[in-house]
Structure 1
Amino acid sequence: MTKRSDAASAASAATPATLALTRAGIAFTARSYDHDPRAAAYGLEAAEKLGVEPERVFKTLLATIDGELAVGIVPVALQLDLKALAHALGAKRAEMADPKVAERKTGYVVGGISPIGQKTPLPTVLDESAILCETILVSGGRRGLDLELSPDDLIAVTGGQYAPIARSR
């Protein structure tokens, strides 16, 4: 994994997420693929096109927790357990956020929402299964761009925490 510091490589993948990682001095690898707008599941498409196990590719989901937005990050082949997310954040109730609100608060489009570099920093929880991986991939801030980094670095840059928030479909 390389630190993206040279101007040419940083410019080719420049998003608020890549800029935030570069500013924080966190090593990452930008991994691009040709996104198919007809893909049924963006995360599974990323895993397939990048040749990465789905257990290492994580999707970023926004939920409303007791009236406030929060981020849950889970493997693409699993679902976000809303009750577990609420519990992890010391709340009672959770529901998926309205996609338009998610886009407005993060500055990203659905299918390309990165947990990194959001317009409004939000409480963030990464599924504890990420601990088992040396690196994971998350959206880089646009469809067709994932960022590979260590789970601990993702926690550091988002101010997040680990918790068991994923469940099988």
Structure 2
Amino acid sequence: MHLVNLPALPIMVLGVFCGATKPSCLEGFLRPLVDDINCILVHGIDINGIIIDFRLKAILADTPALVFIKGLTYPPGLKACIKCKIVGIHDGTKTIYDGTAEDRTDADFRNGDYVKHQKHHTPLVEIAEVDTIEDITIADDIHLFALGIEKKCLKDLQLVLYTLFRSGQNKSS
């Protein structure tokens, strides 16, 4: 990955946050970041007397962090899809999303129109040049794909191996 207008410069990590628990106050956690981003978007960055214009292309996070910073319903909620308005069906062990649905919009998100999807207000809606649906997004395949599928495959494999083992023991007895 690289900066859009400066391909020789790599993207750098701006911050890594960790702790025993999530921050208790989303406003207090994100407010300094939102204020700094808005200031930089308006005024640019002064490097050695040269003002560099700044454009935020995306805010990337893994699924748990994204759900937290956007104030969303955590998957597997019935209205948890971050991109569309699909409503899931809960069958007792999992949520199933069948078909397609209308896309979510930045305007509706900023207005708080997704009542069952948005649990809390997020200061990120105050970053004017960011599309809250397209630009604040998930950057991990492990939470989207691997954990759910891999866990199911491993459980199925365990069941098959156990069944084969048990049937082999019964034949030799």
Scaled by the length of structure 2, the TM-score of the pair is 0.25
Q: 1 or 2 for the larger relative contact order (CA 8 Å, sep ≥6)?
A: 1
What TM-score, normalized to structure 1?
Answer: 0.25
Compare the two structures and name the one with the higher helix fraction: 2
